Amino acid sequence: MPEVIFNGAAGRLEGRYHHDEGLNAPVALILHPHPQFGGTMNNPIVYQLYYSFVARGFSVLRLNFRGVGRSQGAFDSGQGELADAATALDWAQRINNESRACWVAGVSFGAWIGMQLLMRRPEVEGFISVAPPASLYDFSFLAPCPSSGLMINGSDDAVVRPDEVDKLVDRLKTQKGIVIDHQVIPGANHFFENHVDELMTNIDCYLDQRLAPAALKDGGA
């Protein structure tokens, strides 16, 4: 899990990167929660997402957004952080220039950034959105959502109302050819305190289903 530093629009960006030696290994980018509320690339869920993709043969990068850890710059209310995510994906793809696939996973604020990146990068074929902040940020840019993926939240989330996530998923599910899997962890709050193991079990099962040879043969849906 080597530390990496690469140049972004606001200066150096700090990350952790795992390189898979497999032929045409896919790439995954993991994005952390809100920088102004303690979000970093070492968030426990971000950390476990990173290793879930490592275990499945991905080259994986997680990064600190600008102004976090050793990343230079200052919080930019989302616009700059989206630029950071795009820069990070560019960096990972240059190292894996024969990669056959790309996924993006994010937690809370990172999920919002990840979904925006998804709209701008047609090569992203799957996503994991943990606690998507549907009642805090505008997700209307997902019109339509270009890739299938998983949205997962807690039933007792006091930060983002679960009914707002329901509405977002219902809107996205109407799109032909796109499958949005929505899972709710009973009793879990926004940070999945005491429920991280259950969260990761569900995510791992979803990834195994999506990445199974039959699913890949059918286009990854």
Predicted local distance difference test score (pLDDT) of residue 175: 84
Q: Is residue 218 part of a domain?
A: no
Instruction: Give which of 135, 119, 127, 110 is closest to 47, Cα–Cα.
Output: 110
Q: Is residue 217 part of a domain?
A: no
Q: Is residue 173 part of a domain?
A: yes
Q: Which domain holds residue 99?
A: 3-212
Q: Is residue 132 part of a domain?
A: yes
CATH code of 112's domain:
3.40.50.1820
Q: DSSP string covering the chain, please?
A: --EEEEEETTEEEEEEEE---STT--EEEEE-S-GGGT--TT-HHHHHHHHHHHTTT-EEEEEPPTTSTT--S---TTHHHHHHHHHHHHHHHHHTTT-S-EEEEEETHHHHHHHHHHHH-TTEEEEEEES--TTTS--TT-TT--SEEEEEEETT-SSS-HHHHHHHHHHHTTSTT--EEEEEETT--TT-TTTHHHHHHHHHHHHHHHHSHHHHHTT--
Query: pLDDT tens digits for 136-146?
Result: 999 999 988 99
Predicted local distance difference test score (pLDDT) of residue 1: 57
Name the stretches of the chain with pLDDT < 50. Answer: 214, 216-221
Q: DSSP string covering 124-181, please?
A: EEEEEEES--TTTS--TT-TT--SEEEEEEETT-SSS-HHHHHHHHHHHTTSTT--EE
Between CA 91 and CA 88 the distance in angstroms is: 5
Domains in the chain, number: 1
How many other C-beta atoms lie within 10 A of the C-beta of residue 81? Answer: 28
Q: Specify the amino acid at residue 136.
A: L
